[in-house]
Chain A
Amino acid sequence: MQRQNPEIYEDRVVVRLVQFSVLWAVLGMAAGVWVAAEFLWPTLDFGQFWLSFGRLRPLHTNAVIFGFGVSALMATGFYSVQRTSHVRLFLPGLAWFCCYAWQLVVLLGGLSLLAGWTSSKEYAELEWPFDIAIALIWVCFGIVFFGTIARRRIRPIYISNWFYGGLIIVIAMLHIVNSLALPVTLDKSYSLYAGAQDAIVQWWYGHNAVGFLLTGGFLGMLYYFLPKQADQPIWSYRLSVVAFWAFTYSYIWAGPHHLHYNAVPEWVQSTAMVMSLVLLAPSWATLINGVMTVSKAWAKLKRDPALKFIVLSLAFYGLATFEGPMMAIRSVNVVSHFTDWTIGHVHSGALGWNAMVTYGTFYFLVPRLVGAELHSTRLANLHFVLALAGTLLYILAMWASGVSQGLLWLSVDRLGELSFGFRDIMAGMRPYYGLRLVAGLLFWGGTLLMAYNLFMTLRGRRTVAVSPPPVAEPWRLERGAAGIATERARA
């Protein structure tokens, strides 16, 4: 009964979460490719309500963010919190519950979106029964995560855990406040907030879902796996700590930059714009920290596809966190708002940063979990090329269409008359939508290669049993029989 030994890390749940994450990546990106094709051939829904763009597009974003993204964050969070705490996961059974309950929410939630159950709020589309389930699972996630930290055998709480902790706490706060609604029936509720106030609350949530999940959560992943892969300590630990607090403080203000020139108070828009620009500092502090950490491991970069993915993800992280504040400036936003530029920006973050850092982490993690070599380094290198090509093509196509839309919509002639009709501008975007479809197929193809590669690596192998290594003296945290830290006695 090796499993019962508290000195063995609970890694089987990590493997299962990685498998689910890859599955959702394949399915969610397939839905993305499909909706990209509907821009070119609008009859591709074949008159079926569940294939209609308005329902399939939220399914795409939910499957990718909550299926692929959150499963990956749970997997890497559970893996790294054990290693950085030198202790087995707290309540492993609850961790398994989080794993399966979350997949059930993503699956049933996705189907409910196709059935037309939706709150309409972006990245919070799921209706109230799912909102309650998500809140409960999230609390369990927090109990497992912070419980593990509370039982740690090493004094400092490593920086990656701060970011995962920020993810758990802030997303819980945002989710609960934004989802408040009065239910009518199982599939319908009305928001507690109305109109302009609803908009402000929603984008406080929406932007910080991006902030604390897609940025902060994945920074947790980066802070653990980048030093591991580069075999180097973090360049400046103090910088990472300062950046963490600056990030946590300033991100939360940035939401209303999604409402520039909309019917919300100007001071709300202005604070959002200023804080978005402030945000550049902690974002790039992290970028510098990451680049400096990896700068001592360039030789390894040549032959390790996993590290290549992670370093490239840093580049796109830098790009996206520069582009974001620029787009939050009102005079830039006046062009970019409502256009494909926003979609391109999101994908430079989602493909270039989130997916790439996750892919790099999976290529590093999966072979280690089963104590084997990666099935094929060649396939992983091919995946890298496809992912890079797909991301660049996607961003370029959406820049071209987005900037065109923004400028052409606003264009007036010398007499003050509109220069172009909406239909003509829309029809002119067709080539860019074609390029975007190709980009999506390239990226999706790469993801399929990874799914195959990881499947072959895992096939027929068991998760290796790993025990926490001993902690050196100045850092060791002694524990009594009940696992309660004897901190007070020491202090």
Chain B
Amino acid sequence: MNALELHKKIEENAGLLIFGILLVSAIGGLVQVLPSLFQESLSTPLSGTRVYDAVELTGRDIYIREGCHVCHSQQVRPLVAEVERYGPYSRAGEFVYDRPFLWGSKRTGPDLHRIGGKYSDIWHEVHLLDPRQVVPESIMPAYPWLAERPAAGVGDIQAKLRVLRRLGHPYADADIAAAPQRLEGLREIDALIVYLQMLGTGLNADAADAADAHGGH
């Protein structure tokens, strides 16, 4: 049977058509995506990378809820200008506890992967509540409600930690037991700032030094 005859069969048989589409469209994913899921270097943390604690995780979930990733990337590309502007470029091992990843696709505002430690907590609080007070030309929205809501109200923190532990994140029973207390008295904005301040700090010292040697600072 030549190719045209075979194709005539597919053209007249719905079952073959369905099977054909499934087969042909699956190849790319099987060859390109599936191996990546088993590539250890993509799922091995750097020596300085650790899981998010209860407060950081809550801050991260607020970051997701407010859609910060819609305007801010978390991915410093290995380019001279980016390393100069933001800091050491991003490594895959830094993101192994990121569910979901928050690399983003748009920089309406600057990249935030190395924002941790660059500004004070007070600066962040003023900036989140009224961005134009500290950055006059900013077009970022204000987030006044973050100062009014308790961090403990952002979902069930113990359930979250348990789910993440099932996914392989190394949380101890004690971490989960102590989680609600860690959030006590904190507002949403406090948790978000704690998260922002730890962003990009999981890069181990050796890798950061290597990046410096390549012209970063």
List residues of chain A with CB under 8 Å of any chain B CB. 38-40, 42-43, 45, 47, 49, 52-55, 57-58, 116, 118-122, 146, 149-150, 155-157, 162, 165-166, 169-170, 173, 177, 182-185, 187-202, 204, 212, 241, 245, 248-253, 255-256, 258-259, 261-265, 268, 271-272, 275, 334, 337-339, 342-343, 405, 409-412, 416-418, 422-424, 426-427, 487
Contact = CB atoms under 8 A, between A and B. Distances in A.
A155 B12 contact: yes
B32 A194 contact: no
Nearest to A146: B14
A146 B82 CA distance: 50
Interface of B: 7, 11-12, 14, 17-18, 21-22, 24-29, 31-33, 36-37, 39, 42-43, 61, 64-71, 73, 75, 77-82, 84-85, 90-92, 94-111, 131-132, 135, 137-145, 155-156, 159-160, 163-164, 166-167, 215
A42 B140 contact: yes
Given A201-B33, A253-B32, A412-B84, A195 B163 contact: no
B33 A200 contact: yes
Most buried by B among A116, A405, A417, A487: A116
B101 A417 contact: no
A343 B90 contact: no
Contacts of B27: 249, 252
A317 B205 CA distance: 49
B21 A170 contact: yes
Closest 10 CB pairs of A and B: A54-B67, A195-B95, A252-B28, A116-B65, A253-B28, A261-B77, A263-B92, A338-B107, A427-B137, A196-B92
Given A197-B36, A252-B29, A263-B92, A417 B84 contact: yes
A163 to B, nearest CB: 10
Given A120-B69, A170-B21, A334-B79, A184 B160 contact: yes
Given A47-B144, A54-B71, 17 more contacts: A49-B145, A53-B67, A120-B69, A149-B14, A157-B11, A165-B21, A195-B92, A195-B94, A197-B36, A202-B101, A248-B21, A249-B28, A253-B31, A268-B32, A268-B36, A338-B105, A418-B81
A262 B103 contact: yes
B79 A416 contact: no
27 contacts: A42-B139, A47-B145, A49-B145, A52-B67, A52-B141, A55-B66, A55-B67, A58-B67, A157-B17, A173-B25, A177-B29, A182-B166, A189-B163, A194-B99, A195-B98, A195-B101, A197-B43, A241-B7, A248-B25, A251-B28, A252-B26, A253-B28, A262-B90, A265-B39, A338-B105, A422-B110, A423-B138
A53 B33 CA distance: 32
Given A122-B105, A199-B103, A249-B27, A423 B135 contact: yes
